[in-house]
Structure 1
Amino acid sequence: MLNLARQTLKRVPSFQELLQGTMGSANEEINIDVLVIGAGPTGLGAAKRLNQIDGPSWMIVDSNETPGGLASTDVTPEGFLYDVGGHVIFSHYKYFDDCIDEALPNEDDWFTHQRISYVRCKNLWVPYPFQNNISMLPKDDQVKCIDSMIDAAMEARVASTKPKNFDEWIVRMMGTGVADLFMRPYNFKVWAVPTTKMQCEWLGERVAAPDVKRVTSNVILGKTAGGWGPNNVFRFPARDGTGGIWIAVAKTLPKSKTRFGDHGAVTKVDADKKRVTLKDGTVVNYQKLINTMAVDSLVQFMGDQELIDLSKGLFYSSTHVIGVGIRGERPERIGDKCWLYFPEDDCPFYRATIFSNYSPYNQPGADVKLPTQQLANGKKPSSSDAKAGPYWSIMLEVSESSMKPVDNKNLLKDSIQGLINTEMIKPDDEIVSTYHRKFDHGYPTPSLEREGVLKKLLPALQAKDIWSRGRFGSWRYEVGNQDHSFMLGVEAADNIVNGAVELTLNYPDFVNGRQNTERRLVEGAQVFAKNRKALD
């Protein structure tokens, strides 16, 4: 166990000092104990913890001018906000809660929402989770689902083997009826790979297993079931979108230890010499490295062919985020809906978020005058004059991979038509703003090959004093939410400095399976103590 507090080297110069020449040119060498690459939730979590620990010198770098990574927020010229996908705040950790509450401490910094989510199926809105609410389906589909659900339950009782992949898990847990209507088509739209090519160990709390007796009772009585899942109640920042959280967290760190933009862009990682070269020519010598960029990109920067070849066994999908800003009052059919799922092929998107419902500041005020860009049906508006609102907005997500190609040129148009097809908007609705951005690394796929790769790749990097953590840094989707990602960074810092156990990385089922905070903290301390004793 290495105590870096005893090996502190010289102070990290600030970007402002470098510009002023008070500590030499931008091409100088900097010596620090811990370098953090990436200022998304994971990198900021690591930096936050390192800043609290008295001793080790550290620095965080990121090629983007604005912190946030895959939890950032864009603003259109018209004033509509869109997150990088559907992010909401729900937490498994008190430490995470405390840190974001420190960054955004006021009551009016947040809105708290009750999740209202539906699945669009057969021109109906079925409450989420779908498998618990088949009472909303046509009678023929109810019979198919219950028949196969009963068959699955009976088979599961006598099964002597575990499911080999996600598809087998779906059929065993829910039957072929729910599988064919929702789980198979929806998950293909999300992951951009067939369910047969995915493992099932990642599932944890993310997929609700149906209670056959309750489902049958609800069908007979015509009732629905809701309230399942850890995000049944969630928080959302009042202003600046999800990205505003991470901008605020970054502001709690010393400016002298942050370098963003071109002056924080990594161009080379020399793992043998423990040095990182930045775009402005600065060389950072480190003892330990916490990497939060995608691990397949990291090994490219390292130029390590063996690890590059190993990383090729990891799979991911790209994500298109599409935003549509509309003039008019929010329709009654939309109401207080939060996010909606779309398994069918009448639209290219798998999820729609009514982003204007999260905060009134996610779109321009009603007094802002904007021209109509087009009608939803593609026709030109009768007038090009700017008019006042009110406005509302929808954010859509579309996946892409080699197994699921996307018509990039027509994707925005096809998505708007999909909104019409699913009765989300009307053909004559006035669209005043559109947004489309592709994120190359969107979802780290829990493929059948993933564990075999990670069991070699992550230890090989750690043997070189590189802790690769985060949504794509450690490639574990099951601990890829904002709270998980933040704590992956926190726990990496604690592991480096104090030898503490990384619970989130190594025990994802544990951190996801405890809803009671105090119980989780106590049991976490017990696991820590046990492993600490083993280390000593």
Structure 2
Amino acid sequence: MLSYARQTLKRVPSFQELLQGTMGSAKEEISVDVLVIGAGPTGLGAAKRLNQIDGPSWLIVDSNETPGGLASTDVTPEGFLYDVGGHVIFSHYKYFDDCIDEALPNEDDWYTHQRISYVRCKELWVPYPFQNNISMLPKEDQSRCVDSMIDAFVEARISATKPKDFDEWIVRNMGVGVADLFMRPYNYKVWAVPTTKWEQMQCAWLGERVAAPDVKKVITNVIHNKTAGGWGPNATFRFPARDGTGGIWIAVAKTLPKSNTRFGEHGAVTKIDADAHRATLKDGTVVKYQKMVNTMAVDSLVQHMGDKELVDLSKGLFYSSTHVIGVGIRGERPERIGDKCWLYFPEDNCPFYRATIFSNYSPYNQPQKDVKLPTQQLANGSKPSSSEAKEGPYWSIMVEVSESSMKPVDGKSLLADCIQGLVNTDMIKPTDEIVSTYHRRFDHGYPTPTLEREGVLKQLLPALQAKDIWSRGRFGSWRYEVGNQDHSFMLGVEAADNIVNGAVELTLNYPDFVNGRQNTERRLVEGAQVFAKSKKSVD
């Protein structure tokens, strides 16, 4: 717990005061009880909670001018919005709901959608989840999938051991038919790990993210040519009306006192002296802290610390990079696209693993109809017949491509390859007019849940905490299974509560508990009470 004497706490000076010299020069050492590094969902969660707790002084810093981190939104020069990856809002926590509703309180701040998702397979749109809807496949594929699914069901019933890795989990739960047709190729495209290396991936992270099929229902649906209903916690989701997902976090940041924030160049951390509890910012300011909540990637953190032992330990963590590609198109949204939300692509006729019809989330995710834009190119790569700017309407697609040393990507040709992939999968037509494109690469895209991950984290995170550093977040604590926006936010909230009050960090330490009871929202207060009772009964 954080130990402090309230009468000796110093107010955090605003940056304007530092510049004006009212509290010293910009290179003066300042002191806070808690320093929060990073203003993505995790950092903002920590700051939000610290601001509510009476007592500790705190400061949140980020090298970006705009808060949001990996949940931010970019805008193209033509006015198309793209999130930095596929993000939607669904929640396991009432506290999270309350905080974002405070930031965006009006009914017209949000759109609510029913998820409409498909898998593109053999030139068909198979409803998601694929393994529950093989009734949509050709008869030959139906037969192979059902046969192997029955074999897997029998094997699972008689086996005395649990699956030892992800690939074995797939085969044990779904059979080789679904594995070869969808799960193996799709997950290779997501994780950028070749199928020959899948023994590296554990299966403890799966939780509510992958639906295990009900064999009887699958067979019934095949016989009656029916599809299965929706599945998963995001079957219904919210999306902000304006400013994309990043707008949520900009709004949350605005609920915090400006005097406690340092964003942009003056919030960039260049060095951390963990032993002295000092962080040096790019402008030379030294922040003296008692405790730290770190949300930068933990491998980057230990580099900033210059701790060779921890740097070597962090080399046991693996990740893939993500390319986000956006394509803005003139014309009415095609009927074949309809109200689709996001779509999965396991086959090799396109480089992307997922596409989001981003214009379907909000009418403000693209320019309005009366905005005039020139055509940059046709989808087949040819030049337009005219360079004259014309009105819309407009719609847009966002796709994601993974990259790793085991799955290299040609960044120079990737945009063109993705546009061709959209044509190959009948998402767009060769003659469609493209009026805007977007491409951004994120070095840290997905934290890979390898078999050795837990062994590293069980040493690395406690070693950092022994130095008064709580490293949390999608890459701060490196647990993909609690890497959604609500999870990430609560990792920061719970870190703050643990620092100040010694409270249990449920999300970090008990992800299965947090993610339990599929399709039912978890409520933090209720969950904490249930957890306390269950722990007491065990003790």
2:306 and 2:228 mapped to 1: Cα distance? 52
1:136 and 1:516 mapped to 2: Cα distance? 28
The 1:123/1:262 distance shift into structure 2, 3 A limit, reads same
Match of 2:365 among 357, 362, 365: 362
CA displacement at 1:3 relative to structure 2: 4.3
SS in 1 for 2:413: helix
2:237 aligned with 1:237, yes or no? no
Counterparts of residues 27-42 of structure 1 (less than 5 Å): 27-42=27-42
CA displacement at 1:5 relative to structure 2: 6.3
The 1:529/1:48 distance shift into structure 2, 3 A limit, reads farther
Residue aligning to 1:24: 24
Equivalent position amino acid for 2:24 in 1: G
The 1:424/1:464 distance shift into structure 2, 3 A limit, reads same
1:368–1:389 Cα contact (<8 Å) kept: yes
Counterparts of residues 6-155 of structure 1 (less than 5 Å): 6=6, 9-155=9-155
2:224 aligned with 1:224, yes or no? no
1:306 and 1:143 mapped to 2: Cα distance? 54
The 1:468/1:162 distance shift into structure 2, 3 A limit, reads same
2:343 aligned with 1:327, yes or no? no
SS in 2 for 1:314: coil
Q: Which shifted more, 192-201 or 357-366? A: 192-201
SS in 2 for 1:326: strand
CA displacement at 1:8 relative to structure 2: 5.3
Counterparts of residues 161-310 of structure 1 (less than 5 Å): 161-194=161-194, 195-310=198-313
CA displacement at 1:19 relative to structure 2: 2.0
Gaps of 5+ in 2: none
2:532 aligned with 1:522, yes or no? no
The 1:519/1:498 distance shift into structure 2, 3 A limit, reads closer
2:523 and 2:421 mapped to 1: Cα distance? 45
1:240–1:362 Cα contact (<8 Å) kept: yes
Counterparts of residues 408-419 of structure 1 (less than 5 Å): 408-419=411-422
Residue deviations 1:157-207 (CA, integer Å, cap 9, x gap): 011111111000000000000000000000000000133321000000000
1:319–1:399 Cα contact (<8 Å) kept: yes
Equivalent position amino acid for 1:389 in 2: G
Match of 1:455 among 442, 453, 458: 458
The 1:406/1:510 distance shift into structure 2, 3 A limit, reads same
SS in 2 for 1:31: strand
Match of 1:339 among 335, 339, 342: 342
Equivalent position amino acid for 1:87 in 2: H
Residue deviations 1:31-80 (CA, integer Å, cap 9, x gap): 11000000000000000000000000000000000000000000000000
Equivalent position amino acid for 1:157 in 2: R
2:93–2:523 Cα contact (<8 Å) kept: no
1:334 and 1:395 mapped to 2: Cα distance? 13
CA displacement at 1:523 relative to structure 2: 3.9
The aligned length equals 535
CA displacement at 1:383 relative to structure 2: 0.2
2:91–2:522 Cα contact (<8 Å) kept: no
Equivalent position amino acid for 1:476 in 2: R
Equivalent position amino acid for 2:191 in 1: W
CA displacement at 1:529 relative to structure 2: 6.4
Residue deviations 1:98-141 (CA, integer Å, cap 9, x gap): 00000000000000000000000000000000000000000000
SS in 1 for 2:181: helix
Residue aligning to 1:505: 508
Residue deviations 1:428-480 (CA, integer Å, cap 9, x gap): 00000000000000000001110110010000000101000000000000000
How large is the Cα RMSD of the aligned pairs?
1.5
2:206 and 2:378 mapped to 1: Cα distance? 41
Equivalent position amino acid for 1:134 in 2: I
CA displacement at 1:7 relative to structure 2: 7.3
SS in 1 for 2:364: helix
Match of 1:391 among 394, 408, 416: 394
SS in 2 for 1:44: helix
Counterparts of residues 430-509 of structure 1 (less than 5 Å): 430-509=433-512
CA displacement at 1:20 relative to structure 2: 1.9
2:522 and 2:179 mapped to 1: Cα distance? 37
CA displacement at 1:12 relative to structure 2: 0.6
1:531 and 1:267 mapped to 2: Cα distance? 42
Gaps of 5+ in 1: none
Q: Tell me the TM-score normalized by structure 2.
A: 0.97
Match of 1:351 among 347, 350, 354: 354
Residue deviations 1:256-280 (CA, integer Å, cap 9, x gap): 0000011100000100000000000
The 1:27/1:519 distance shift into structure 2, 3 A limit, reads closer
Residue deviations 1:13-36 (CA, integer Å, cap 9, x gap): 111212222211110001110000
2:320–2:403 Cα contact (<8 Å) kept: yes
Residue aligning to 2:377: 374
CA displacement at 1:526 relative to structure 2: 3.5
Equivalent position amino acid for 1:84 in 2: V
1:328–1:391 Cα contact (<8 Å) kept: yes
CA displacement at 1:518 relative to structure 2: 7.0
1:5 and 1:156 mapped to 2: Cα distance? 58
1:7–1:56 Cα contact (<8 Å) kept: no
1:19 and 1:323 mapped to 2: Cα distance? 40
1:532 and 1:64 mapped to 2: Cα distance? 44
The 1:114/1:530 distance shift into structure 2, 3 A limit, reads closer
Q: Tell me the TM-score normalized by structure 1.
A: 0.98
